[in-house]
Amino acid sequence: MGAPPTLTKDGYEMHMGTNHLGHALLLKLLKPVLDKTPDARAVHLSSAGFRHVGPAGIEFDTLKSAKSETALPYRYAQSKLACLLYAREASKRYPNFKNIAINPGEVQTELFTREAGDDLMKHLQEHVASKLAIPISEGVKNHLWATTSPDINNGEFYEPVGKTGGLEGHGLDDEMAKKLWGWTEEQLKDQAL
């Protein structure tokens, strides 16, 4: 996340390409197996950061640009909103297995500090977040719960650990979820292993 504005090798804004399109392609490729597997589920990694998108939510006309005019937190937030909305829409379109989205919580990672990028974000990560965030050993608990719990609800968004009720704003936008689904399908139509 700390990377400066850049594109994937396929020409997508880096956060959207990595956090959303890569995962959507994997789900598309795994779908035939998931359809046949009892109690299968796809756990989509979102973030509380989805709440920090701009007023438009996902800016579809900018997803094939480095978005250098857009602040790093907004680029990240937009990709995490995409993960959340895609999980919600997949839960409707893929009825043979469950799709949920999770927020791992504020986890002590090197998300902002390992690459050149936004100095303010690096400072906040090193001096503020490092004191408030939980260790990785705690941060994986929502992932583990989501992959093993018999108590998940299809299409739900789970905060740590296994708590619902965190959806708000654009996270509830069914029309944006449908638009994202269509856009994603169009982008991935020629992709295969």
Paired tokens of 13:
């804004």
Q: Which of 12, 47, 67, 76 is catalytic?
A: 76
The amino acid that residue 149 corresponds to is S
Q: Which residues contact 142 (CB under 8 A, 6 or more apart)?
A: 102, 103, 104, 105, 158, 159, 160, 161, 162
Known catalytic residue at 79: no
Q: Rounded to 5, what percent of the chain is helix, strand, coil?
A: 50, 10, 40
Q: Which of 80, 86, 98, 122 is catalytic?
A: 80
Q: Which residues contact 23 (CB under 8 A, 6 or more apart)?
A: 44, 45, 83, 86
Paired tokens of 110:
């090197």
Known catalytic residue at 163: no
Closest CA to 62 of 52, 49, 75, 73: 75
Q: Which of 46, 47, 79, 91 is catalytic?
A: 46
Known catalytic residue at 80: yes
Question: In this structure, how many other beta carbons lie within 10 angstroms of the beta carbon of residue 168?
Answer: 10
Per DSSP, the three-state class of 79 is helix
Q: Which residues are catalytic?
A: 46, 76, 80
